[in-house]
Structure formats: C-alpha cells, structure tokens
Amino acid sequence: MRVIRESTIHNVAAKSGHLAPRVLIDSEGKLLDGRPILLMERLPGKNLGQLVMEDDPDAQKFPELMAILQYRLHKIDTSELRRRLAQARIDVEHMKPSRLLEDITAIARAINFPYFDELSGWLADGFPQQHENPSLVHGDLHPDNILMQQGKVSGLFDWAKSLFAHP
C-alpha cells in the first residue's frame, strides 16, 4: 500500500502546482521482482545533495529553499488528497503525527528504555490538537530529495514518510 500512498501524494501535489513529479505507473501494491515500483515523469535538474558535495554556489541556498518548500507544502489544501487516499483504501489516520509517538513507544519498549512510560505520558499529554484540514508534511525533506536547475527548485520527490500535521 505504501507505493499507492506515495503515488497518490505525488500526483495530488503535482496537480496542486507543487514541483513533484507525476507518477505515471505504479505497481499498485504488487511487487515486481520482490520490490514495489513507481515510474515517474523525468524532471530537469540536478540533485541538491550532489550540488552541496560539489560546492556549487546554488547549494548555499538550500536552507532557505527547504523552508520555502515546506511553506508551500503547508499551503496545499489536503482535503482532496485525504479523499483520494481514502478512496485508495489508505489509512489516513496512520498518517498523523501520533503514529510517530507510537513508533517511539515501540522502539523504547523493544530496547527496554527506562523511564519511558513517564516520557511517553508527557509527550501524549502535550500533544497539540490537530486541525481538521491538516497540512501535508514531506517527512524526509533533505537535499538528496530535491532537484535544482538554474538556481531554482525543479522537483521534490520521495514522499514515503509523509504525514498530515499542524503546520
């Protein structure tokens, strides 16, 4: 289901004017040679992580670019995206920040982390109320997931860890 979730997010983000490549074909939850696939349109540009390693002048802009990308993502109306995900039988509830607390809880219990119950309670009690129409959060925003061309962002990809949260 992850591949269906990611392809739906890519396509809705692209339709909303965000610089995400459209997914042309996905494996619809099936595995090909043991792996899911996404076939996306090719976007122009070079990987920002590569530009950072090459000490390209455009790489100096990456903190500002990442902030702008997040800001634009937060402006996407997620009601259509959540509707499309639900139609694809994707559990939208699993895409809320509370899933991160569940993940932390599972890890802490697996390693027998002392004082975790107290910490978990503190986190749960301080968890902010979520908006009815939460923002889309990429979840893995870093230079290797950003394409640049001529000093501008030309693409943002790898939405596998995305979630809905308070902006």
Question: Are 75 and 112 contained in the same domain?
Answer: no
Query: Does residue 26 sit in helix, strand or coil?
Result: strand
Range of the domain at 51: 2-96+134-165
Question: Are 112 and 34 contained in the same domain?
Answer: no
**CATH number, domain at 53?**
1.10.510.10
Quick count: other Cβ atoms within 10 Å of Cβ 75?
A: 12
The reported pLDDT for the residue numbered 50 is 93
Question: Are 39 and 120 contained in the same domain?
Answer: no
For the segment 37-70, what is each residue's pLDDT rounded down to a tens digit?
A: 889 999 999 999 999 999 998 888 888 888 888 8
Instruction: Look at the pTM and tell me if it is higher than 0.85.
Output: no
Query: 136: which strand partners?
Result: 164
| Domains of the chain: total | 2
% of the chain exceeding 70 in pLDDT = 99
Question: Are 21 and 56 contained in the same domain?
Answer: yes
Question: Are 63 and 106 contained in the same domain?
Answer: no
Question: Are 84 and 10 contained in the same domain?
Answer: yes
For the segment 128-154, what is each residue's pLDDT rounded down to a tens digit?
A: 777 777 888 888 889 999 999 998 899
* DSSP H or E stretch at residue 164: strand 163-165
CB 49 within 8 A of CB 157: no
The reported pLDDT for the residue numbered 105 is 79
- Burial grade of 32 (CB within 10 A; 0-12, 13-18, 19 or more): exposed
Question: Are 90 and 62 contained in the same domain?
Answer: yes
CA distances from 2 to 97, 146, 161 (A): 17, 21, 9
Question: Are 88 and 40 contained in the same domain?
Answer: yes
Question: Are 102 and 85 contained in the same domain?
Answer: no
Question: Are 56 and 46 contained in the same domain?
Answer: yes
Question: Are 157 and 76 contained in the same domain?
Answer: yes
Lookup result for tokens 């002392």: 114
Question: Are 160 and 111 contained in the same domain?
Answer: no
